[in-house]
Amino acid sequence: MKKNWKYIVTETVIVIIGIMIAFSLNNWSTNYKNNQALRGNIESILSDLEADALSIDDIITRQNQKILDLKTIKVELSGREVDWDLVSGLISKQQSSPTFYPITSTFQSTVSSGKVDLIKSLDKKTELFHLYEFIYKKAVYNGQLYDQSHIEYYDKQLIKYIDFDTNVVIDQKGLKSSETLNALSYLINEARDYIQLMESVKKENEALSQSLGHR
């Protein structure tokens, strides 16, 4: 009888140890797969952030050029002799005003899949949500306001004086009016404000890239 009990206890211990080993291996496998999946998502987010940074740089460059063009238009219209071909050409360039639309698909899929919870560092997780849910959304919202403002002033005070089929100024007096000059000043200030916004967004972008890159 004692032999049987010893046998039963030994077999039970062996089974328990086997279950514990299997459980540990399963946990290790699950954690490994989760970490690999998270690593892939982080790499994709870093790639998105890099692309966003390049987009921001391009926007800042183009907005700076826009300011130079608007200043040139303003100087020309303020003078006695106006190069109307130059003015019409520069005004035509202002039809588009680049604004920022970040890449958010990887971040959204990381959140919706629950993989974001695998990020152990609370600081990194906070920085991630701060950029995408606050900074980026604020940038998009302000960009939309900026677009509306640009279109309003551009349509009301600039393009109505130019025939875009021939690219010829059709109302020189209207273009030289104080209203037009004020509109140009407004557009210059708006572009400056937007550049400042983009520069602050880029700093946040770089900070998160550095943080996630040192995970």
Q: What is the pLDDT of residues 160-213, one digit of tens each?
A: 888 878 888 899 999 999 999 999 999 999 999 999 999 999 999 999 999 988
Tokens of 67: 């300011």
Residue 40: closest CA among 113, 122, 127, 106: 106
Residue 118 sits at the vertex; the CA angle it makes with 28 and 211, to the nearest 5 degrees, is: 120
Helical H runs in the chain?
2-78, 84-93, 105-112, 122-129, 136-157, 172-175, 178-213
* 168, β-bridge pairs: 163
Q: What is the dihedral of CA 190, 62, 203, 143, to 10 degrees?
A: 50
Average the pLDDT over 13-28 and give the result: 60
Tally Cβ neighbours within 10 Å of residue 192.
13
Q: Where are the domains of the chain?
A: 47-213
The answer to whether residue 49 scores a pLDDT higher than 80 is yes
| 110-168 tens-digit pLDDT | 898 888 888 888 899 999 999 999 999 999 999 999 999 888 888 888 888 888 788 88
Is the confidence at residue 2, as pLDDT, over 80? no
